[in-house]
Amino acid sequence: MFDLKKYIAEKKEKVEEFIKSYFNPSIKPSILHDSVFYSLTAGGKRLRPVLCIASYEACGGKKDITPYATAIEFIHTYSLIHDDLPSMDNDDLRRGKPTNHKVFGEGIAILAGDGLLTEAFRILSNPEYADVEPLNLIKVIYELSSSAGVYGMVGGQAMDLISEGKEPDRETVEFIHLNKTAKLISASVKSGAILASADDEKIKRIEKYGLSIGLAFQIIDDILDIEGCTEEMGKPKGSDIEKGKMTYPRVYGIAESKKKAKKLIDEALDALLTFDHKAEPLREIARYIIKRTS
């Protein structure tokens, strides 16, 4: 029996180790170092790096690509710091802890985010971390920057920002979820496949898997905001509703949203049908995502 918990714990440990070793020497000024470190070690699930590594292994990769996988966590962490800012979501809590700007002030929080985003590309442009093909790294940088840029995460966040308090509609909520969440998750698994030199057919299937679980993940996050407990979420229940956020349950209702998430996970598993046992971690992660609500 494949043990997902153990698998995730092992990959997570390597990610934590890389994070601890990366900022050497310490960043100057020290408040910036502390700010960057604070958010990087604030108890993230490391879903994106684990997905990247799992996809790499599913495609037959055998090297340790932890640094490149962790670069994606840098991008994710930057987005959380900036999302929480007063001029964005104005959140005081993240994973049960005060948000970065609450501890270090807005200016340093913005710079910590800027720094993490930039360092992600510095890691990805260093072929020495795992002796991989420069052309593959270039492709990974292109995927990640495309999914995180103005035609991806940044666009999704901007749409999220200007849509607050507006009447929800399907097109907008789908745009936000696809761009703000699903594209980077999909790029995470696609990056793993590219680093493993997978063929185009495999990369396409992995991308489909990533988009499907990415959308499902966000829909379930929306549902948990209504049904989950504050402790589990690390932020107050109902905070999306309070802010008038565009969410799936608001557009489709809870029952329909759950059905939609279930269907997406089925599609994700279908996309992996041509993969062998090495894709078991990816399959189990998909099943785990849907279990969060049931």
Beta-bridge partners for 143: none
Residue 130 interacts with a copy of itself (CB under 8 A): yes or no: no
Residue 55 or 191 with smaller CB distance to a copy of itself: 191
Count of H-run helices and E-run strands, the chain: 16, 2
Question: Using omega within 30 degrees of 0 as the cis cutoff, is the peptide bond preceding 249 cis?
Answer: no
Please choose, out of 7-15, 110-118, 239-247, 248-256, the segment that lies near a copy of itself by the rule CB under 8 A: 110-118
Q: Measured between alpha carbons, how far is 283 from 54 in angstroms, rounded to an integer?
A: 10
Bridge partner list, 97: 94
Q: How far apart are CA 17 and CA 60, in angstroms?
A: 24
Assess 203 for contact with a copy of itself (CB under 8 A).
no
Q: Residue 62 or residue 134: which is nearer to a copy of itself going by CB?
A: 134
Q: Give the footprint of a copy of itself on residues 27-66 (CB under 8 A).
A: 27-29, 31-33, 36
Residues 87-106 that bind a copy of itself (CB under 8 A): 87-88, 105-106
Secondary structure element (H or E) that encloses residue 170, with its range = helix 170-177
Nearest approach, Cβ of 51 to a copy of itself (angstroms)? 20
CA pair distance 243, 228, nearest whole angstrom: 17
Q: How far is the CB of 166 from a copy of itself (least distance, A)?
A: 12
Give the DSSP H or E segment for 94: strand 93-94
Contact positions toward a copy of itself, by CB under 8 A? 23, 27-29, 31-33, 36, 78, 82, 85-88, 105-108, 110-111, 113-115, 117-119, 121-122, 124-127, 134-135, 137-139, 141-142, 145-146, 148-151, 154-155, 157-159, 161-162, 175
